[in-house]
Structure 1
Amino acid sequence: MFPPLALKTVRWRPFEGEGLEHLTVRAVGDGLRAESTVIGEQGNRPFGVHYRIDLDAAWRVRSFLVEGMAGRRIAMLSDGDGRWRDEDGTPLPVFDGCMDIDLAGSPFTNTLPIRRLGLSVEHGRTTLKMVYVPFDTFVPFVDGQHYTCLSPASRYLYEAADRSFSAELPVDADGFVTDYPTLFARL
């Protein structure tokens, strides 16, 4: 559905307030590495964050690191089958079954399930459990989300499981969000 990816750089800005995300995804060994810097506001408080996500060739998250400019950080590792541990190797069974991550201030993490699943219109709606990391606390929690393919390789419906938010997400030829209604615009 989506072509292999060797190198891609994209930028998004929030619709409201100040901010910018600069992301580069590149092939590394037998997988991919996404690295990004995000500056923005949350609750009228400015933040600066750097993150790194390592993926295998099937777009499964194998590890991630999120660091705030004020010194806060979180790092987790995955076996690629939905089992997580912290960076010291301690199992985190509360996240069992979470295949993907969702970083609160980045539209890139929507690309992870879109590319990994290769959804088609015939698949209907897919329900996922995510490791959700808010940029204000860095305290992860399990978040339920639904994805529905509206048009293969071009448009998807994202819905929060608690029904608090939904958005139609157009994507480019590589599966990266081009417009995230009410939240982000691609530059």
Structure 2
Amino acid sequence: MESVRVQLSGNRIKAYGRIVSAATDSAPAFSASYDLVTDESGATKRLSMTVTSAERERQLSIARDEENMWLVQDHTGQTSRAAFDGALDVDVVFSPFFNALPIRRTGLHQRLDSVSLPIVYVWLPDLVVAPVTIGYTGAADGIKVQSPVASATMTVDSDGFIVDYPGLAERI
């Protein structure tokens, strides 16, 4: 389950959210809270996350600087700087909300087109950060996404936010 409060100012987004996951065969139960800020174009500027499980609490901070380099401070306090293949967006596994960032930034919700984008990808609950490429294709029935964990056709609203992501979530 994900709950997110979104504040819009043009293409700029401030979002505060929480993802709650029950235990599965491959991961323990956890809660992840986040704070996201984009720039005026909708590109991610900063993401702060805290993941809490029965065993521990860990934090992650990701920020894009004026040279489009990403500064990542992981849960150990270690800081690294990387280009992540020129990525402008962050995606978080299990979150339908983060798919809206590249969709809105590229205007894909307003046109039928295809884009393949480098993305800074955050794996939960481990807070592993890695570059990935995600494909988005606008179609009459929604936006098709091809990510490291899913292939689906999402339905979006007129603002580019996810309404239905089959197999993951449906907005209520």
- TM-score band by shorter chain is 0.7 to 0.9
Alignment CA distance shift 1:42-1:78 (3 Å): farther
Alignment partner of 1:176 out of 143, 147, 161: 161
Higher relative contact order (CA 8 A, sep 6+): 1
Tell me the residue number matched to 2:91: 102
Q: Does 1:41 align with 2:27?
A: no
What percent of counterpart residues are identical? Answer: 28
- Distance in 1 between residues matched to 2:85 and 2:12, nearest whole Å: 22
Aligned residues: 161
Report matched runs for 1:52-131 at 5 Å: 52-69=35-52, 70-79=56-65, 82-86=68-72, 92-93=81-82, 95-119=84-108, 120-121=111-112, 124-131=113-120
Tell me the residue number matched to 1:50: 33
- Distance in 2 between residues matched to 1:181 and 1:80, nearest whole Å: 36
- Distance in 1 between residues matched to 2:168 and 2:119, nearest whole Å: 19
TM-score in terms of structure 2 length: 0.82
- Distance in 2 between residues matched to 1:111 and 1:83, nearest whole Å: 22
**Match of 1:43, as an amino acid?**
T
- Distance in 2 between residues matched to 1:91 and 1:40, nearest whole Å: 28
Tell me the residue number matched to 1:143: 132
Tell me the residue number matched to 1:22: 3
Preserved CA contact (<8 Å) 2:136 2:145: yes
Preserved CA contact (<8 Å) 1:60 1:80: no
* Aligned-partner SS, 2:22: strand
**Match of 2:129, as an amino acid?**
P
- Distance in 2 between residues matched to 1:143 and 1:137, nearest whole Å: 17
What value does the CA root-mean-square deviation take over the aligned residues?
2.5
- Distance in 2 between residues matched to 1:31 and 1:81, nearest whole Å: 19
- Distance in 2 between residues matched to 1:168 and 1:100, nearest whole Å: 20
For structure 1, the 5+ residue unaligned runs are 1-19
Tell me the residue number matched to 2:144: 157
TM-score in terms of structure 1 length: 0.76
